[in-house]
Amino acid sequence: MSIKDAKSVGKAYMAVTCVFAKNLASMFSLHLKAPRWTTALGFITRPVTRPQEYYALKEDSAPEFLEPYRQPECYGMMEKEAWNSMNETTKEGLKQARQKFPVLAVWQMFFFSCEVEDALKDMEKLADMDAFRSTTFLTVAPGCYPANIGLPQSPDAISTPWIASILPLLSKPLNPGHAGPSRLSTPSAGPRNLLRRSIRLSTKTAAKPKRAKKVMTVDVVDSTSPSNTNSKKKWPNVTIPGKTTMADATGVLATSILQHAWARAVERDSSFIVFHCGNFERIAFRHRSSQTLFISELIDVTGCKDPRYGELHLTLFVAIIEDVLDRTRQLVQSETDAKPRNSSRKRKREEPLPSEGYKRPKTRARLALEAAHAVEHQEKLAVVAKAIAERPLAVLRIHDRHFNSPVPASLLRVDRQAPTDDFVFEPREYFHLTIKSKLGAGATGDVHSATLEFQASTGETVLFSEAVVKLAFDSEQRGRMRNEFEVYEHLNSSGVTGIPTIFGLFKDVESDALALVMNNVGTSIWMRRPDKDCAGLAVSESERTAFAKIMESVHAAGVRHRDIRPDNLVISNDGIASIIDFDRAIINASEGSRKREFEHLVQLLGGESFTIEFGLPSFGTPRYSPI
């Protein structure tokens, strides 16, 4: 097997060490009485890393419990012999563990190189430091603290042997008010001691987040609304780093690797992390309650003795299984304890979902009210768009599940040159852009729901909660995003309606990443289809007419979309139709190609069958279409 990148390193590991280690661990831990060698543990590959030609890091593969055996058999299911040899307690524990922990650990595969090998060796130096200094953005934004998300704390294993060995190291009181990483602790050394060093990574900050404030929302962006003292908070100046500051800020690869791995482990709620580059390796264990990462000594893969490398990974897989089952039992018990006692009162009959059964037709008064709301929403949207258009800086934060930015990123409009020296922006020159959740991912980049927050000219804080951010990282994605922005600008100048309102295209001052910010125009007709198991669409006659009018307007501006599919046809809660995703569009398209595209739209909305191969070259259907 030729090793050309991190993907190849991962394949080599999976083909040799992983196969026997996971199978033996599964046999010893779960189904020792099985009549033949089999496994309940898989090492599954699920896309996490963006597709690349050559990978420096690949983290798509990790251990998972296979699906319990049943008829009919399918791929990804454990074999009958393994399942039937388990007792009922083990079977129930596996079912619960699969539900609560879909992915059991983090495996980071690196291409073997001097840089990565040095980084793995440098982890020893980081462990000898008094504090782990995490890498953050260089933006200075006073008062821009991480959100107090308040996620439930996942438990650590309590009955596993390695927990007993590290508890004495965690008995010392923490330094109150310590910002970020805390002190280090060193387990007793020994030839078979896997967890030798520790690095504490803390998600706490020294500054306590301020109490949530009341603000105006642009679902009610109304300058005549009664103001209050909470809506007139103080907006400080924001300083973004210049090229000189960024050049002086030298990053350490080992720090970045550890920080990224910790974040991935938090996302998956995993305890074990493996750093593997072919020749060398480190294994890490994450202790949640103390926010400590224990890392092993450097493992020489080919020269590993006492224990040998295969024995080490057999023990590792056994430890992962025991850890997950232990934590699953704790979670199940806590859920059982939290359930209310049975009540003697009769349960109320469940109301049918709005989509079920008969729907009352809308009255003329209801239709008129919805139309008035739609007009009001458009007026408010115009107010926000005007205010945002005057601001060159977006201060980007992420408050999504476990992701919580300690320091924001600075994004400048693409038509503005990045400063050489640090530059200060006043409140009227920037707005806060906060990512809340991921909506999807495509060829152009990742799509997230977001909020916009800024200080109005009256001094009041305005919050717009219906924003969307598309992020592009690699060169191909950035090229498509720039094209999409140019097409939107052209359509807007041509007076085309039925497309998103674009707040701007921004570039991260510390990287090449781009962010396209717009309003959320609704749900795609693909996502709202009645039966999610089939491709049948539910589109009313009025919606067909609305989409046709938008397409006629787009074509009149000389633009061909080249990606017309149900995912890109959306309807808002107010019933307003829009067409989105113009990253493949071209301006000054031929009349014949625009005519064929219109016929394609009519056929699609008319309910004619379509598949992933439906699009012709003239339509430009993308290679990776969800339908």
- SS3 for 166-177, per residue? HHHHHCCCCCCC
Task: Measure Cα distances from 428 to 271, 322, 387, 415 in Å.
Answer: 45, 55, 9, 18
Phi, psi of 516 (to 5 degrees): -100, 120
β-strands 569-571, 559-560: how paired?
unpaired
Token pair of 204 as six digits? 């706490």
Q: Which two tokens stand for residue 352?
A: 């049918």
> Residue 39 is encoded by which pair of tokens?
């496994």
Q: Residue 287: how many CB atoms within 10 A of its CB?
A: 22
Q: Is 239 exposed, middle or buried (0-12, 13-18, 19+ CB in 10 A)?
A: middle
Report the chain's terminal Cα–Cα distance, integer Å: 35
Assess contact for 178 and 192: CB atoms under 8 A.
no
> Amino acid letter at 269?
D
DSSP bridge pairs for 494? none
Query: For residue 579, what are its two tokens?
Result: 């067409």
E-assigned strand segments in 33-103: 41-45, 57-58, 61-65
**Nearest alpha-carbon partner for 560 in 593, 604, 600:** 593
| Residue 232 annotated as binding site | no
Q: How many residues does the chain have?
A: 627
**Which single residue is written with the structure tokens 């309590």?**
158
- Give residue 401's region: left, alpha or beta (phi > 0; psi -120 to 50): left
- Is residue 391 a contact partner of residue 431, using CB atoms and an 8 Å limit? yes
Between CA 317 and CA 30 the distance in angstroms is: 12
DSSP β-bridge partners for residue 57? 110
Alpha-carbon gap, residue 608 to 601, rounded angstroms = 10
Element (H, E) at 411: strand 409-413
Token output for 597: 């595209």
Phi, then psi, of 312 in degrees rounded to 5: -60, -45
Characterize 22-47 residue by residue with b for buried, 16 or more Cβ atoms within 10 angstroms of its Cβ, and e for exposed. Answer: bbbbbbebbbeebeeebbbbbbbeee
Using the structure block, give the residue that is written with the tokens 């999976």: 14
Q: Alpha helix (H) ranges present in 152-204?
A: 161-166
Distance CA 238, CA 139 (A): 7
Please enumerate in sequence order all residues whose Cβ is within 8 A of that of 332, keeping only pairs 6 or more positions apart, or say none. 96
Annotated binding site: 470
Residues placed in the known binding site for ATP: 470
